[in-house]
């Protein structure tokens, strides 16, 4: 087995066990290939920055990749699996994709680079759990508009264009935008 890189990005694992479970093994030589695969709903975001690849190792010349869904019903997962297979094939690897449910995906696994990609694309990145609750339930204005940067924004709908997002509108520049909900 080649060198592995820990891509556990969560700085606030709730327990030592949680940290252990969340850790993933990614063969470094596969990273450039996997980084080119993006989320079909958010093309600017690589699946690596999304945190859905939980491990990728080479065993007997076959790449074994474990991915975890963001939401149970996320229709992007089948596509992501196919895209990974295709990308690896192009790089000369046969692969097996496994969908794992545990540990459950959390928005904490989106990397800082991933958060920036979301914002640049017009989707506000998730706030922490408490602030998230405040904006979704208590009408607080904390989400930063992806167009003008103002936090004078309000919730339009708890569910947006996909299950993982909520719909917001900026009351300064009037721009409507998606907010990626915190999932913990």
Partner 1 sequence: MKQNLYNYILGIADNSLMLGQRLGELTGHGPSLETDIACTNISLDLFGQVRSYFQYAAKIAGDERTEDDIAMLRKERDYKNVLLVEQPNTNFAYTLGRQFLFDVYHLAFLKELQKSADLTLSAIANKCIKEVSYHERFSSDWVKRLGDGTEESKAKMQEAINDLWTYTDELFHQTEADKAMVEEGIGVDVTKLKEAYYKNVSDLLLESILEVPESKYFQKGGKQGIHTEHLGYLLSDLQYMQRTYPNMEW
Cβ-Cβ contacts under 8 Å for 131 (sequence gap 6 or more): 140, 142, 182
Least Å from the CB of residue 73 to partner 1: 3
Q: In what order do the strands lie in the sheet with 25-27?
A: 4-6, 25-27, 53-59, 62-67, 94-99
Neighbours of 140 (CB within 10 A): 17
Cβ at position 75, least distance to partner 1 in Å: 8
Contact between residue 46 and residue 78 where contact means Cβ atoms under 8 Å apart: no
Q: Minimum CB separation from partner 1 for residue 101, in Å?
A: 4
Q: Judged by CB, which is closer to partner 1: 30, or 123? A: 123
Interaction site with partner 1 (CB under 8 A): 69, 71-75, 100-106, 136-137, 156-163, 167, 181, 183-184
From the CB of 156, what's the least distance to partner 1, in Å?
Answer: 6
Q: Is residue 165 within 8 Å of residue 123, measured between CB atoms? A: yes
For partner 1, the closer of residues 35 and 175 by Cβ is 175
Q: Which is nearer to partner 1, 96 or 120 (CB)?
A: 96
Nearer to partner 1, 3 or 102 (CB): 102
If we measure between CA atoms, which residue out of 41, 88, 44, 43 comes closest to residue 65? 88
């Amino acid at each position: 087995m080649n060198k592995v890189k820990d891509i556990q990005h969560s700085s606030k694992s709730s327990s030592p066990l949680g940290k252990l479970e969340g850790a993933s093994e990614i063969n470094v030589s596969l990273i450039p290939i996997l980084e080119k695969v993006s989320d079909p709903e958010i093309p600017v975001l690589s699946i690596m920055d999304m945190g859905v690849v939980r491990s990728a190792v080479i065993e007997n010349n076959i790449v074994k990749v474990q991915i975890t869904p963001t939401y149970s019903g996320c229709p992007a997962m089948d596509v992501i699996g196919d895209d990974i297979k295709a990308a690896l094939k192009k790089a000369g690897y046969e692969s097996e994709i496994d969908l794992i449910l545990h540990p459950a995906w959390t928005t904490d696994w989106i990397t800082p680079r991933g958060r920036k990609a979301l914002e640049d694309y017009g989707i506000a990145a998730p706030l922490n759990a408490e602030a998230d609750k405040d904006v979704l339930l208590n009408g607080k204005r904390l989400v930063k508009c992806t167009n003008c940067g103002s936090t004078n924004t309000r919730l339009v709908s708890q569910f947006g264009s996909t299950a993982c997002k909520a719909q917001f509108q900026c009351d300064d520049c009037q721009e409507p935008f998606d907010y990626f909900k915190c999932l913990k």
